[in-house]
Chains A and B, each alone.
Chain A
Amino acid sequence: MTNSSSSIIVECLQVATVVFLAPLFTGWVRLLKCRAQARTSAGLLQPYRDIYKLFFKEVALAENASWIFRFTPYMVFGATVMAGAIIPVISTRAPLSATADIIALVAIFALARFFSALAGMDAGTAFGGMGSSREMMVASLAEPAMLMSVFTISLVNRSTSLSQMTHVIVNSPIMLRPSLAFALLAFALIAIAETGRIPVDNPATHLELTMIHEAMCLEFSGRHLALIEWAKGIKLLLFASLGIALFAPWGMATGGTLQSLVISYVTLTAKLAVIGVAIVLIETRLAKMRIFRVPEFLGAAFLLATLGMLSYFMLE
């Protein structure tokens, strides 16, 4: 098997993994959360059942909804899968990751969010517009912090290409770097905000006053809703894998051999399981904060990311 064809196989494998593993990860987080709160859970596979069910439901469209509303679910799902092809999840050598660096990755997520916000306003309900406005407020504060945190990691590894950065981290000795510690903290705060978890947004709520992401997606139904929910699951998985790729990629395959891929899958599963536990601990311990506290929360993320960058120059 030639090198290029094996890397294409790895790439396809990775996209398939991301797309089909995402509901399982969502199910794992929900299961743990139910256990932590002494509730009976619907099972690990419930997200698959939900998505399957939604695909066979009728789509109810608002009378004055335009093409944007119908196009958005496909756009959001497509952009999220595209991001899944760029982030090194199982192997650092994915051919598509050369097409986009980490700045483009942030832009792809922003594109999906832009269309979601448009669709939220498109149906003409009050909740949709409110959700879009809140989502954009969170996004406008989270993105600079995200870029700042990512630039810190880029500075340390001297590249903005994700696969290159991951490759450098895998092959370099473990060092105590204050800049990376700050960047990790900032990244964790941003990931919470970007994936709409507690304390920024509650993924399980449909209460008018508190929902952010859900308010925007309230009008979707049938297969559209299935795609939106699925994309949401993939995004959660992707942020977890992005965190793994940037801060703890050890065990990830650097080539395309079968043995390294198996090791990669095992370590990925273990790391994701741990991240799921961390998410549940955070969500169970903290209450959702007031929406006007969110700018301060993201301001703290920006501060941490900036401190990371400064400490790279000052201390390393």
Chain B
Amino acid sequence: MSHELAIEINSLLAALILLTSFGLLVQRRVYGLLHIFAWQGVFLSVSTAIVGYSAGLNHLYISAAMTLVIKVFALPYILYVLIHKLRIKKEVEDMVNIPTTMLIGIAVVIFSYHLTAPIRELSTLMTRSTLAVALSTVLLGLLMMITRKKAVTQIIGFLALENGLFFAATSATYGMPLVVELGVALDILIAAFIFGMFFFQIRTSFDSLDLKEMEKLKDLD
């Protein structure tokens, strides 16, 4: 595989990651969200492996394998079990309607392109152009956390945000040191379990996973 082809495939994967971020923003069904999130993990993992191959960095293969195991299989599975146990069947409830969220999303992408433009000029890595996509994935994850009411979708937004951070690390500096990445991966995994416990706690206290309920004081009812 030539260097040019690797760059082309990598930017195609970056575009697909951006597409899945928007997919998360516009998807109405919770199970649909999980599928898109898993796909984002697949693209991220393949992209990391390709960067590892063409930059000759072996530790990126371990990162790619870890992404594949944790973000494509483990996390969606844990969330699937949680959603199943909590019997969430309703469509995703959002605070801003979907077309508006989409337009805000486009503005966010343009913003992150402008923000990363100077870094793009300075960097000499093959992945420098994907940095803008990485930053927009982070910000789109944040946007998803802001515009959703239910805890589960906010968690998926948070995990998408983490995907963005991982992608940013790969495109800005060819990945974090392996120790840091291992730590982050473990954290995410444990966070997913803790989120699960929180979901049950929130539901037993408020009878709903709608976080708007938390803004009210209980005694005033």
Do chains A and B stick together as partners? yes
With A and B bound together, what is the CA distance between A182 and B16 in angstroms?
9
Mark A291-316 against chain B: 1 for CB-CB distance below 8 A, else 0: 00001100110011011001101111
- Kindly list chain B residues whose C-beta atoms are within 8 Å of the C-beta of A316: 11, 129
The reply on A262 being an interface residue by CB < 8 A is no
Decide if B102 touches A303 in the complex (CB within 8 Å): yes
Q: Is B69 an interface residue (CB 8 A)?
A: no
CA distance A315 to B133 in the complex (A): 9
CB of B110 within 8 A of chain A?
yes
CA distance A179 to B129 in the complex (A): 14
B113 touches A306 (CB 8 A): no
A175 at the interface (CB under 8 A from B): yes
Q: Are B99 and A307 in contact, with the CB atoms below 8 A?
A: no
Chain A residues with CB under 8 A of B11: 176, 178, 311, 315-316
Interface assignment of B121: CB less than 8 Å from any CB of chain A: no
- The segment from B18-26, B46-54, B144-152, B155-163 that touches chain A is B18-26
The interface bits of chain B over 190-207 (1 if a CB of A lies within 8 angstroms of the residue's CB, else 0) are 000000000000000000
Using A182-B15, A303-B102, A311-B18 as known contacts, say yes or no to A176 and B130 having CB atoms under 8 A apart.
no
State the Cβ distance, A305 to closest chain B Cβ, in Å: 11
Interfacial residues of chain B within 26-49, with CB under 8 A of chain A in the complex: 26
Asked whether any CB of chain B lies closer than 8 Å to the CB of A181, the reply is yes
Known interface pairs A176-B8, A296-B98, A303-B22. Does A315 touch B14 (Cβ–Cβ under 8 Å)?
yes
In the complex, chain B residues whose CB is within 8 Å of the CB of A306: 106
Q: Is B8's CB under 8 angstroms from A303's CB?
A: no
**Known: A303-B22, A310-B109. Contact between A315 and B15, CB under 8 A?**
yes
A299 to B216, CA, bound (A): 36
Q: Which residues of A contact B98 (CB under 8 A)?
A: 296, 299
B129 adjacent to A315 (CB under 8 Å): yes
Report B113-135 residues with CB < 8 Å from chain A CB.
113, 129-130, 132-133
B99 near A181: Cβ-Cβ < 8 Å: no
Answer yes or no: B9 CB below 8 A from chain A CBs: yes
B99 contacts across to A, CB distance below 8 A = 295-296, 299
A177–B99 Cα distance when bound, in Å, is: 26
Per-residue B-contact encoding for A16-46, CB less than 8 Å = 1, 0 else: 0000000000000000000000000000000
Query: Which B residues lie within 8 Å of A179 (CB)?
Result: 15
B102 touches A299 (CB 8 A): yes
- Cα of A76 to Cα of B126 in the assembled complex, Å: 51
CA distance A306 to B106 in the complex (A): 8
Does B26 lie within 8 Å of A307, measured CB to CB? no
Closest to A302 in B: B102
User: Apart from A310-B110, A311-B18, what 15 extra A-B contacts exist at CB < 8 Å?
Assistant: A176-B11, A178-B11, A178-B14, A179-B15, A295-B99, A296-B99, A306-B106, A307-B109, A310-B106, A310-B109, A311-B11, A313-B113, A314-B129, A314-B132, A315-B130
**Top-9 shortest CB links A-B:** A178-B15, A315-B11, A176-B8, A314-B132, A311-B15, A178-B12, A299-B99, A315-B129, A176-B12
* Residues in chain A within 8 A of chain B (CB atoms): 175-179, 181-182, 295-296, 299-300, 303-304, 306-307, 310-311, 313-316
